[in-house]
Structure 1
Amino acid sequence: MIMIAGGAVSGDSKDAHLMHLDGAAESLLLFKADVLDTLAAAVEGCEGVFHVASTVPADKIVDPELEVMVPAVKGTLNILEVWSSLEVQKVVVVSSTDAVHYDPNWPQGKAKDESC
């Protein structure tokens, strides 16, 4: 198993718990990477990949399109192109609830969905 971590590498406190998973010492490799850069070295030889990363700005978002959507789409396209060129057989792309929490004008109490 290989994990590509945007802000963490093996030994960082942020990812230290991962090394306690069953079999991690023998089969878990951690890479620090940016989805806007090439990831070929990290996924070369992999048969399947889970893409769970997305941009989550820490500060107030002034321009959601520019600050969240553009890097998220560009990053996902970048890694899909890399995985396609390396002939990865299975790719699973997921998101998080953070993807729908950025509309400051969303009505209080209204359920959040893809239109948010």
Structure 2
Amino acid sequence: MGQAKTRGTQDQRIAQAKAKVDALRPAKMVCGACKTSFTDFGLIDARGMPGIHAAFGGVCPSCGETVLAFSGDKDAVANAMIAWQDAMGAEGKLGMQSRDGSHKFFEN
């Protein structure tokens, strides 16, 4: 614990970690199914997901689809999406989104 003490108290380290994740939070998410944008979504626990810095998810208010956003290393994000598709047993509708909410859909 010696190195952790040099980064501040436990409360300070928690606040720093929260600030890092908050900085990665997108302004809005866009549904890959119906293209609706929405702001009511939450943080997904990404501990144990190497290379993922933050993950967010919510349910589209228009069509009810699950919408996910991963931030992290390129390969880690790709692996997380593949794992999610495998777990859900369905093909995802992929896109790329900036933190300000601008979105680009990848069409098949």
TM-score by length of 1: 0.30
Q: Which has the higher strand share?
A: 2
